[in-house]
Amino acid sequence: MRIYVGFDDTDTVDADRGTGKLARWLENELPPGYRLWGVVRQQLLLDDAIAYTSHNSSACAIIENCDGSSVDDLISRAVAHLQRHFIPGSDPGLCVAVEGHSSLSALTAFGRRCTQDIVTQKDALQAAAGVHLSGHGGTNDGIIGAAAAVGLTAHGWCGRFIELGRLRDFPERVFVSDLERSGIAVVSIDRDAHIPGPGDVVETKGWVRPRLWGSRPVLPVVSRGKSLWETVEERKRRIKGNGGGKDGRKDLL
């Protein structure tokens, strides 16, 4: 059984950590019988009417419950983790939902709205009926992004992984077979959609961030010659602040 733990709005413009790091660090707080499968970053609407630090993104940790035990302990630990690591002056929020819960369809619809429209805390609370959704400081606006992160991640076709096994250890050149052994599907998006072979090499530019497609990690690549591929994106720094506490200027995810 999988459990989705969404975080948002945990930092300020001068913070040394952001939502992405906080979600990744949850791995160190998990109860026995639980393990972190991955962490997915979700991009929400960029609009001057929304207060955010740099990206207006939120993050969802995907936790596997290996023994079927109650999630109450996990929720308590996630709350304590958030309260311990958020930055004073921010507006942190937390959402926790179990795979298959009846509210996930409403959370997914809400999350998709968050990528296109300005929404309210009331909207988030209505979508999250029956699952854990809590604010822990400031305006509590973080419940909006936290709920959206859970809904979009549960949907399985949104976001990119910022944590997944040894994701951050891959070199600039890696065999397709090594990526696939790590659970990452390598998919060509060039015109003819050739299939990358296991012995082919992928130029990662030092930054492997698979997409969440079909509820699995998929790395889109384009051909750069015989048996050579390249990832379609690279690490970028975006510095923007409009007065909000959103998501982590210094955490490039």
Number of structural domains (the chain) is 2
Per residue in 224-247, pLDDT (tens digit) is 999 999 999 877 655 445 444 443
> Cβ distance 248 to 9 under 8 Å?
no
pLDDT digits (tens, 9 = 90+) for 64-88: 998 877 899 999 999 999 999 988 8
Report the residue count for the chain: 253
Widest pairwise Cα distance in the chain: 54
Give the list of residues 6+ apart from residue 105 with CB closer than 8 angstroms, or none.
Answer: none
Residues 217 and 119 in one domain: no
In a domain, 250, yes or no: no
Residues 128 and 182 reside in one and the same domain? no
Q: Which amino acid is at 139?
A: T
- For residue 84, give the CATH number of its domain: 3.30.70.2200
Residue pair 33/179 in contact (Cβ under 8 Å)? The answer is no
In terms of domains, do 67 and 8 share one? yes
42 and 125 share a domain? yes
Containing structural domain, residue 220: 170-231
Please give the model's pTM, rounded to 2 decimal places. Answer: 0.89
Q: How many CB atoms lie within 10 A of CB 11?
A: 30
Indicate whether 182 belongs to any domain: yes
Whether 157 and 210 map to the same domain: the answer is no
The answer to whether position 239 is within a domain reads no
Is 251 a member of any domain? no
Same domain, 94 and 145: yes
Q: DSSP letters along 160-189, please?
A: EEEESTTGGG--SEEEHHHHHHTTPEEEE-
DSSP-based three-state secondary structure for 53: coil
Strand, coil or helix: 28 = helix
Least-confidence region, from 31-45, 49-63, 102-116: 49-63
Of the residues 132, 161, 190, the one at which a domain ends = 161
As a whole number, mean pLDDT of residues 104-115 equals: 97
Q: Where are the alpha helices (DSSP H) in the chain?
A: 19-25, 72-85, 104-114, 121-127, 142-155, 176-181
**Domain identity same for 20 and 67:** yes
Does some domain include residue 248?
no
Can you say how many angstroms the Cα of residue 20 is from the centroid of all Cα atoms in its chain?
7
Given pLDDT bands bounded at 50, 70 and 90, which one contains residue 47? low
For the chain, helix (H) and strand (E) counts, in that order, are 6, 12
The answer to whether residue 246 sits within a structural domain is no
Q: Are 193 and 74 in a shared domain? A: no
